[in-house]
Amino acid sequence: MSVSSPSVAVVGVTGAVGQEFLRVLEQRQFPFSRLRMLASKRSAGRTVTFKGTDYTVEELTEDSFKGIDLALFSAGGSISKKFAPIASEAGATVVDNSSAFRMAEGVPLVVPEVNPEAVEGIEPGRGGIIANPNCSTIIMLVPVTPLHRRAGVKRMIVSTYQAASGAGAAAMAELEQQTRQVLAGEPPTCDIFPIQYAFNLFSHNSEVGPEGYNTEEMKMVHETHKIWNQPEGRRTAIAATCIRVPVMRAHAESISLEFESPLAEDEARQVLAGAPGVSLIDDRQANRFPTPLDATGNDDVYVGRIRNDISLDGTGRGLNIFVCGDQIRKGAALNAVQIAELLL
């Protein structure tokens, strides 16, 4: 084994993100010397096919990481809290997709297009935990960071339009079921969410804090400050409103930016056109801008509606953009694999 060809474990391999891990690893021809498929006891014994080879899913236990150099986790926060430190102690370098370690001191929180320097000195096989940010944070920061580097984002207001897939396969199935029920004039089944999802939208289903913001919204605030390495007293002012919409896959975000320095929309468009991980769909004449379907299954974050903020007319310091990104792919699996690639 060499660092350039690590032994890899995929934790939570039978879930939606775990399956996307495998697709991304294959498509990007990620090098590995050995691959171990791990999941719950309930899924153990199932067969998973990867690159033409059948693998038997093994039960995740405390002994699962012997000889593993790199562990990709997507099995939920409670599993990560228990098993990621065990994997690290066994020598596996962990890239964790849950929220368990994102704000932990000393744990890098990484978007490869934004802060790749955060993983300098970390190598597979030497332990350690690296956190994958929240999907909404990733989708926001891939296009916003190059603008921030050019003009300094002083204030950011973001509204998200989040797909059912962000709440898991059961939420997607319920949205499909409800759509059929409502169209047939039947009462909708509401098992995953307490209110009707089909033909409706509602505030994100995470816990609302005393200040009135839910957990998803505050993740976008705190994670941005950490990823941008902003100390207290010099942090960008950020406020988010996160909404569930009846879309199967890929999140959309409306982002309003106020800058420290003037930034014309034409210059912003040039910056975004050259930014890694960004694709433009910005045709005013045809009224053609990004949609969740554009982003579904694709790596890039799509950006459009690039326009001066008329509420700051005359200053040249305001810009509004609209973005769409596949939260299972770039918002989860792809970002984690890109982090792993940085370690090789």
Instruction: Centre a 10 Å sphere on the Cβ of residue 226 and count the other Cβ atoms it contains.
Output: 19
Give SS3 for 266: helix
**How large is the greatest C-alpha to C-alpha distance in the chain, in angstroms?**
64
Closest to 228 (Cα-Cα) out of 137, 159, 318: 137
243: how many CB neighbours lie within 10 A of its CB? Answer: 14
Is the entire prediction scored with pTM above 0.75?
yes
Range 139-176 burial, b when 16+ CB lie within 10 A, else e: bbbbbbbbbbebbebeebebbbbbbbbbbeeebbebbe
- Residues 139, 141, 265, CA angle at the centre, nearest 5°? 105
Predicted pLDDT of residue 169 = 86
Alpha-carbon distance of 80 to 83, in angstroms, equals 5
Compute the half-sphere exposure of residue 173: CA atoms within 13 Å on the CB side of its CA: 6
Cα dist. 195→97, 191, 250 in Å? 28, 9, 21
Active site residues: 135, 251
| Structural element, H or E, at residue 24 | helix 16-27
Quote the tokens at residue 84.
């990621």
Q: Are 7 and 67 in contact (CB under 8 A)?
A: yes
Tokens of 328: 């299972």
DSSP state of 241: E
User: What are 87-99's pLDDT values in tens digits?
Assistant: 999 999 999 999 9
The parts of the chain modelled with pLDDT lower than 70 are 1-3
Structural domains for the chain: 7-132 (3.40.50.720), 137-163+201-327 (3.30.360.10)
Cα–Cα distances (Å) from 207 to 60, 142, 204, 211, 213, in that order, read 29, 26, 9, 11, 8
